[in-house]
Chains A and B, each alone.
Chain A
Amino acid sequence: MSTLLTYISVSEGKIKRSSLEVLSRCNELAAQHGLKSAALVVDSDPSAAAEQLKKYGPDLIYTIENPIFKNHLNTPLLKALTTAVEKLSPKVVAFASTEGSKDILGALAANQKAAPLADVSEFELTDTGVKAKRPVMASKIISAVQAEGPTVILTVRSGSYDVVEKAGDAAIESIPFEFSDDQLKITLKEIIGAAGDKIDLSEAETVIAAGRGVKDDEGRKLIDELASVLNAAIGASRALTEAGVYDPSLQIGQTGKVVSPQLYIGIGISGAIQHVAGMANSKVIVAINKDADAPIFEIADYGIVGDLYKVLPPFIEELKKVKSN
């Protein structure tokens, strides 16, 4: 029977929520169409993640294990996926959209002669492939697209589907995989500034985003304080990642990351379309900006017009009070 295969991305032994969102969608589609939903973990030590996966109800769980997967590298990951796809001939291979999956999506499509769809926000099966929606024109517009062929490979924006737990007891099957270093086409020399134990921006429930209005250490301190009161992840606009004030991995937007938190607070951010492209799906948007005409106010649920240096101190105090009640 044909399968829908979800690639489960694992970071330090933990399954990424965005992968579970994709798996939940594939479970649902598989049930509707009488297909099997399969999950694949590719990791240096996939067993714990594979075990955890059972409670999300895939019909089949596959693992590919090799020490090479300790760090992301496109050559071995591509080879692992090629192996899995050739073994399972899935109707769909679905990934959460991450820099890791974007790195190999096109290459996998090319070597499988399969149709690729990047960064979809919805997808459905058709008789001959997949129908999907994806944001285009810096997310100003939605395009309805279709992909044809026996296998369609796609990545899904985080926050597009809810995670649904579903009791199951799928068997875990390990797919044989060999990889020797001389097959590496590129080499990893160094990993620079991995974010470590910080809250993962793309999966955070609360995001505080700092923009050019945050000018100095005092501003940064206020951002840190607010983030710690709300247990939030910190993100930034391109103005500040470009200036080196925040790490480039914290950029939210078209070039940066897509976030879909319950609460987004934009501070000193104008709301350029390329930034909004990455945060418009937040449930509640709060903006603090001293310019009453800043475009961010067009999408903010709570628009605070004022100088961030004057607004943040009392706001932080009030939030502390609310939190302690």
Chain B
Amino acid sequence: MKFYVCIKQVPDVNAPLQIKDGQLIQDADRNILNAYDASAVEEALVMKEAHGGEIEVVLIGPEKAKETIRKALAMGADSGSHILTTGDENLDSYSYATLLAAFFKDKEYSYILCGKQSQDTDAGLTGSMLAELLGVPYATNAVGLEVANSSMLVKRQGDTGQELLEVPSPGLVTCSNDMNDPRIPNLKGIMQSKRKPVDTIPVNDLGVDISGENVKTSVISFEEKPTREPGKKYEGEPDEIAKQVAQLLDTAENVI
């Protein structure tokens, strides 16, 4: 089986952030492999270990995102394609999906795996958009994958229960981080990753217009979230605290 995993480099949401004049500033330029994509890579590795096959990761991003491709290769992916941008383009999920569709147009694959969303923007659009542009069946928010004969059984987390879906090949699945704990690359993996092939494709070579109609949304500015002031802390005798808080929830807040 040939798996492609679409991976994205995202700013680490745990790093300190500031907003200046409506712009988002990361104090430390800390970037990571999107957690949901790490789960997708992990799942592909597990399937490859069980059934054989090949895993290629694809990333659209600037030069510095190469380290994220290396991370996936160090986890165990076989090769990478880096669709190289300058980092100054205004790209949204629509343009990423359009670029990826152009990349996959003449590729053969069993399944494309994506993350269910980007950790920084929580958009969750690219996967199903790409599937629709490619005209392949898809399932989103997978919490479990299993290869069965020539198709894939996907356990999808729905609004209430879970759905067990059969997605034929070629198809696309978006992965939740709820299905596994991605492995941490070991030293051997890191050494090997340096010798694995990474193909660099300048973004303009894909023949997609990324200045006009394929960019549908843009960020106007960033704003601080209205802060919540911490309320009162209650420490001491549980019986006393219980009484006080229960009373206040009733009389002062009227929420019970």
Query: With A106-B124, A143-B221 known to touch, is A71 a contact of B163 (CB < 8 Å)?
Result: yes
Residue A305 at the chain B interface, CB threshold 8 Å: yes
CB within 8 A of A273: which of B14, B124, B138?
Answer: B14
The segment out of B42-50, B66-74, B75-83, B237-245 that lies at the interface is: B237-245
Q: How far is the CB of B152 from chain A (nearest CB, A)?
A: 10
Whole-angstrom distance between the Cβ of A253 and the nearest chain B Cβ: 11
Q: Across the interface, do A242 and B242 meet the contact criterion of CB distance under 8 Å?
A: no
Q: Does B88 contact A (CB under 8 A)?
A: no
Q: Contact at B246–A249, with CB atoms within 8 Å?
A: no
By the criterion CB–CB under 8 Å, are B246 and A315 in contact?
A: yes
B186 within 8 Å of A by Cβ? no
Taking CB as reference atom, which chain B residue is nearest A98? B159
Residues on A with beta carbons closer than 8 Å to the beta carbon of B239: 314
Interface residues of B in 148-164 (CB under 8 A from A): 153, 155, 157-164
Interface residues on A, range: 35 or more
0 or 1 for each of B217-256: is its CB under 8 Å from A? (1 = yes): 1111111110010111111001101110111111001011
Number of B residues near A (Cβ < 8 Å) is 83
For chain A, residues 130 to 151, give those with C-beta under 8 angstroms from any C-beta of chain B. Answer: 131, 133-149
Contact of B17 among A141, A188, A298, A321 (CB under 8 A): A141
Contact at B125–A186, with CB atoms within 8 Å?
no
Q: Map CB proximity to B onto A220-255 as digits: 1 under 8 Å, 0 otherwise.
A: 000000000010000000100110000011010011
Given contacts A98-B159, A109-B129, A192-B164, contact A263 B253 (CB under 8 A): yes
Query: In A281-325, which residues have CB < 8 Å from any B CB?
Result: 283-286, 292, 297-306, 310-311, 314-315, 317-319, 321-323
A selection of 12 A-B contacts at a CB cut-off of 8 Å is: A11-B160, A116-B217, A117-B217, A143-B223, A144-B220, A144-B222, A186-B139, A189-B165, A190-B163, A191-B162, A191-B163, A298-B228
